[in-house]
């Protein structure tokens, strides 16, 4: 695992209204992040498939803030979604936007290029398979049940965590990010394309944390919940096979540790809002998700 320090020199993007700010706070190595900020003893149970999601699972989702499914996508769909994603990176990005962790001038071949991709934004319209996954009628029907409203795709993003040091995504709530700051909860659907395991940066969640509502986020290693405000002792890891998926509430505290293994960890992520939801006003956003009104320190 990389011994690179993360903290004061890192830059985060994606803050409310796209502002970019310098990070501050404690400087931690990947090993320290993986061992101090995450736990690995408890793992989430998996429903065999989406067809097994009924009223009881809806209650569980509402109580725990998440439900995980072993097989949302078939092996063939996973292969063709992965190929589609790689084509957007290597051949033609079309409408998608690709975010690299290094300047393009430092990427000399396809392997270096792929391993430097952190995110692919807005890929859904660019490929038929990816469009089909996002608007699958069975998926939309379950989301309608969860939202109690007509689901609208609010965001689509693929997240790639390369082997040997793919970075942590610190603990956060998705609705603390401007594009998802709606007045009613959004639902995240995170789908593993590679096996997402304990050693390559699978999702981790704090069950029931969505019940706390919005909490302040701080610019530390990213736009995140203060490390000391995360109830890490309640951490449940969500390892998934390729094609497995995590459905989670937009206020759920979640994060992913660094990838210290020699395996890729690529995932698709969709967020759906109810069609009657509205974006929160900037003053409301500040009150809920920042320390601007309270001055609380991290
Ligand atoms: O896939 C990851 O590493 C983190 C995904 C996530 O939590 C997010 O983008 O909100």
- pLDDT value of position 117: 95
- pLDDT value of position 21: 39
Strand partners, 117: 100
- pLDDT value of position 256: 98
**Nearest atom in ligand 1 to 161's CA:** 3
- pLDDT value of position 17: 36
- pLDDT value of position 6: 57
Closest of 269, 285, 246 to residue 134, by C-alpha: 269
Distance CA 294, CA 32 (A): 30
- pLDDT value of position 19: 36
**Nearest atom in ligand 1 to 159's CA:** 1
- pLDDT value of position 10: 33
Distance 49 CA to ligand 1 centre (A): 22
Return phi, psi of residue 106, to 5°.
Answer: -95, 0
Distance 238 CA to ligand 1 centre (A): 13
- pLDDT value of position 68: 98
Kindly report the number of other CB atoms within 10 A of residue 150's CB atom. 13
From 256, 264, 267, mutation site for ligand 1 pocket: most ligand atoms within 8 A of C-beta = 256
Tell me the Ramachandran region of residue 122: left when phi exceeds 0, alpha when psi lies from -120 to 50, beta otherwise: left
Query: Which residues surround ligand 1 with Cβ inside 6 Å?
Result: 159, 161, 169, 174, 201, 254, 256, 267, 269
Q: What is the mean pLDDT of each run of 10 residues along the chain (298 residues)?
A: 46 36 65 97 98 98 98 98 96 94 91 94 97 98 98 98 95 97 98 98 98 97 97 98 98 98 98 98 96 89
Residues 6+ apart with CB under 8 A from 285: 16, 178, 181
- pLDDT value of position 295: 86
Q: Burial level of 91, CB count in 10 A (0-12/13-18/19+)? A: exposed
């Amino acid at each position: 695992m990389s011994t690179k320090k993360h903290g004061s020199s890192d830059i985060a993007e994606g803050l409310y209204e796209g502002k970019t700010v310098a990070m501050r706070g404690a400087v931690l190595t990947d090993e320290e992040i993986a061992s101090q900020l995450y736990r690995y003893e408890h793992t989430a149970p998996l429903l065999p498939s989406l067809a097994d999601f009924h009223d009881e699972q809806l209650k569980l989702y509402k109580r725990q803030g998440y439900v995980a499914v072993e097989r949302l996508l078939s092996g063939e769909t996973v292969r063709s979604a992965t190929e589609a994603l790689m084509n957007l990176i290597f051949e033609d990005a079309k409408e998608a936007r690709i975010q690299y962790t290094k300047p393009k001038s430092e990427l000399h071949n396809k392997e270096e290029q792929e391993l430097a991709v952190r995110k692919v934004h807005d890929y859904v319209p660019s490929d038929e398979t990816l469009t089909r996954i996002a608007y699958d009628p069975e998926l939309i029907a379950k989301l309608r049940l969860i939202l109690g409203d007509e689901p609208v795709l609010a965001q689509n993003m693929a997240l790639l965590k390369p082997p040997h040091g793919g970075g942590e995504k610190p603990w956060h709530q998705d609705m603390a990010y401007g594009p998802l700051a709606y007045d009613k909860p959004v639902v995240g659907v995170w789908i593993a394309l590679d096996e997402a395991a304990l050693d390559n940066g699978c999702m981790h969640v704090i069950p029931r944390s969505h019940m706390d509502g919005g909490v302040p986020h701080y610019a530390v290693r990213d736009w995140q919940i203060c490390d000391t405000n995360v109830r890490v002792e309640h951490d449940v890891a969500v390892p998934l096979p390729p094609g497995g998926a995590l459905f989670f509430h937009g206020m759920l505290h979640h994060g992913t540790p660094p990838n210290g293994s020699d395996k890729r960890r690529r995932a698709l992520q969709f967020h759906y809002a109810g069609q009657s939801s509205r974006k929160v006003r900037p003053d409301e956003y500040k009150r809920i998700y920042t320390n601007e009104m309270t001055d609380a320190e991290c």
